[in-house]
Amino acid sequence: MNETPFSLAISEVTNLPESLKKKKACFVTLTKSKELRGCMGHLNAILPLYKDIIDNAFAAAFSDPRFDPLSAKEFSQIKVEVSVLTTPTDFEFKDSGELLKGIVPGEDGLIIAKGWNTATFLPSVWDELPKKEDFLSNLCIKAGLTAEDWKKPGLKVQKYKAIKAK
């Protein structure tokens, strides 16, 4: 992984709480006027949490392919949210009804995969898509599948939780 200038500047950080030194996965979400402005992260723990936060914040601000890099003028208007993720766990289900019953809006982040297609929605996405069917359909579309693929066999699902820090 390439290190950002921020990573290099803090490589000798001391006096951090132990919880920030443990390997944890996180996403950093940037919003401007309540609209998404960037979001980047990792689903699996690959770095100490403090480094993952810094690297993902830098990536969300300057490397999210959906947006132009942040300008200096925007910095004061940006709200930063960090979601520290639990380890994803496989969720087994027999059919779409069991899938719907097994997910908890507002709590579960989901990772779906079918073939080479994969995508995730953080638990915070439930705020925008509170209906389970809409959440799953939009997640399938994000993965490059059809909106109805969550109703068909072959979808693999993992669940995780997120602890938000603002």
- Same CATH topology for 5-85 and 89-161? no
For β-strands 89-91 and 35-41, DSSP reports them as: unpaired
pLDDT (tens digit, 9 = 90+) per residue, 23-71? Answer: 999 999 999 999 999 999 999 999 999 999 999 999 999 999 999 999 9
Provide the token pair at 42: 């990792």
**pLDDT over threshold 80, residue 138:** yes
pTM for this prediction = 0.84
Provide the token pair at 158: 């993992």
Distance CA 40, CA 29 (A): 7
Residue that the structure tokens 């992984």 belong to = 1
Per DSSP, what are the bridge partners of residue 166? none
Every domain of the chain and the residues it spans: 5-85, 89-161
CATH class of 89-161: alpha beta
Task: Give the domain 5-85 fold.
Answer: Glycoprotein, Type 4 Pilin (3.30.700)
| Spacing of C-alpha 125 from chain mean position | 9
Q: Please state, for a pLDDT cut of 90, what percent of the chain lies above it.
A: 85
